[in-house]
Structure 1
């Protein structure tokens, strides 16, 4: 199974404050259309199409975790309570397991989890020329980041047995997007000289928590994860249908599960690059969070393109596409956050080939 929910019920709730009582410096300040925050010239908008896209993004009222009201906070908590609490291995994944040795040792202590991972990697979802018979072999073939994604899903795969076929399809897309994003984040971090690529990959690994909460907790939420959906379509549907979005639900879930606070904050910030202009984004993020927020957003959009729109070759990912709401500001975000090397890597044949080889291990 290529996706999973989470295991045991947790006895003690995390003691960190609720979103309404915690003013995060990493979140957007007002809860009103972002286009009203600053009277800036639309430098990014040079054509009629780009001007229309600019307006649609900057005028969209993205809800943020630190500025939701009590009713929204209660609704987010209700969705989270519908999910069982995580298998203990989830906390280990959030805290590290960044080397093959650590990952193999953790799985060696849980034969059932090992068996589930091996069943998944030997399933029809992977184009293998020969079977993989050990976790070490899986790590050697797929890499630590991707196997961590498999472990995260396999840890709780049993919890999806009662799901409908529509829910399973939605969960699989959400998982695939996150697994690819995590692997891409690790690869990008290694090639761009990031001090801790594995930290980027781990944060990306938990970006689908809010999606899991929606798919399991909202009866019609599976329609928000249909093939071809853009991230803007999905967020609009979430906010119209529930008054929340995946960043709010995911950060609430991360807090209630006691995951590290930097993961909670990364999830809460995850959609800001969608609607914030390059001039605005540095004003609503802490300086040490800006670069990683942009990199993680890029990784998430790559994952979405694979899962929702069938991307199979990184050369087909156009960072300058005017008709793509999810990446409209992205090149300028990378430029403004002093990450021009990342822009170069996305057009570098060698880097593209590395990522394409990673995708080629999946029969998707």
Structure 2
């Protein structure tokens, strides 16, 4: 294994001017919306069925496997979908799993919770063609990996609720998932693997709002936990500004979620799993310009070291392998 390279060296990056993609991007928010755009945003939320009631319980679930099993067992539809999913080729199990408790023991509480949360949400497939379906599945695959990364980093930071941070990372791209499902005409933006700044600019130009606004609006309508609503509303702030613009209390979870999702996408671009190469590739993209400052501000200068600890790296590599298997 390669020796870990310095993580996004903040001192070196600070002397460089922001990339043009960052300088020219102006994030929209609810205070800047034209009335017709506000109506479209509200209509998007209204068009998506509310998640089953178990969704809120799952979003607030901790690390206790017994608690998680109890929550999933209260919703037969979620339990059935979860068992069907974990027994699919996607997770390459050697023997069939027939109980939620067994699924938790085999796959771990974090991944089981993530799969259950996804299936507690109902995002209609109508209107998704082969391209948008592939993008949609890729966004969820990225979210699963980001959740695993976030859990490891939250544990390194000794955050009070690592499970809540991993759930936040899982749902960080909720707005993107809804946009791709509701507006297949923007699939070309996602299909092009653009830098995040370019993707956000293109989405705002075409629709008049961005993924952060959509995610926050859905979280409000669905009555998800207040902390998650705040994180989704601010999910694009690490892209365009430094740590001084973030609330110190919520910054650790927000930075971990942003970083985990960007690193997860860098890992999925690879042929072979390599955290060091993925980190290097990420640091070369405009979307990572402010990351050194954010990571330093929350005490994660050693993020790569945390992720390349043997047990953590094996767990993430196994997750990538499982998620890459045919479904």
| TM-score normalized by the length of structure 2 | 0.85
Change (3 A) 1:157 1:258: closer
Match of 2:215 in 1: 250
Partner of 1:342: 303
Partner Cα separation in structure 2 for residue 97 and residue 322 of structure 1 = 32
1:136 aligns to 2:93 (yes or no): no
Tell me how many residue pairs correspond in the alignment.
315
Asked if 1:302 is matched to 2:263, the reply is yes
Runs of 4+ aligned residues of structure 1 deviating over 6 Å after TM superposition are none
**Structure 1: gaps (5+ residues):** 1-41
- Which 10-residue stretch deviates more, 157-166 or 224-233? 157-166
By how many angstroms is 1:118 displaced?
1.4
The residue number in structure 2 matching 1:356 is 317
Separation (CA, whole Å) in 1 of partners of 2:92 and 2:19:
41
CA offset digits 1:122-150 (Å, max 9, x no partner): 21212223322222222122221211121
What's the counterpart of residue 74 of structure 2? 109
CA contact (8 A) 2:132 2:181 kept: yes
Show the 5 A alignment for 1:113-124. 113-124=78-89
Q: Is the partner of 2:26 in helix, strand or coil?
A: coil
More helix by share: 2
On the 8 A contact 2:59/2:167 being kept in 1, the answer is yes
The CA RMSD over aligned residues, in Å, is 2.7
Deviation at 1:44, TM superposition (A): 2.9
Q: For the structure 1 residues 122 and 225, does the alpha-carbon distance in structure 2 shift closer, same or farther, using more than 3 Å as the test?
A: farther
- How far the C-alpha of 1:309 sits from its partner, in A, is 5.5
Give the drift of 1:45: 5.8
Partner-residue secondary structure (3-state), 1:167: helix
CA shift in 2, pair 1:247/1:74, >3 Å: same
Maintained 8 Å contact 1:149/1:205: yes
- What is the CA–CA distance in structure 1 between the aligned matches of 2:75 and 2:47, rounded to whole Å? 26
Residue by residue over 1:276-311, the C-alpha shift from the partner in whole angstroms, topping out at 9 and shown as x without a partner, is: 1x3xx32x2222122222111111112323456567
**Structure 1 stretch displaced more, 252-261 or 351-360:** 351-360
Distance 1:138 1:121 in 2: 7
Partner of 2:174: 209
C-alpha distance in structure 2 between counterparts of 1:256 and 1:269, whole Å:
17
Q: Give 2:13's aligned residue.
A: 44
Long gaps (5+) in structure 2: 1-10
State the match for 1:62 in structure 2: 27
Distance 2:226 2:97 in 1: 36
- Could you tell me the TM-score, scaled by structure 1's length? 0.77
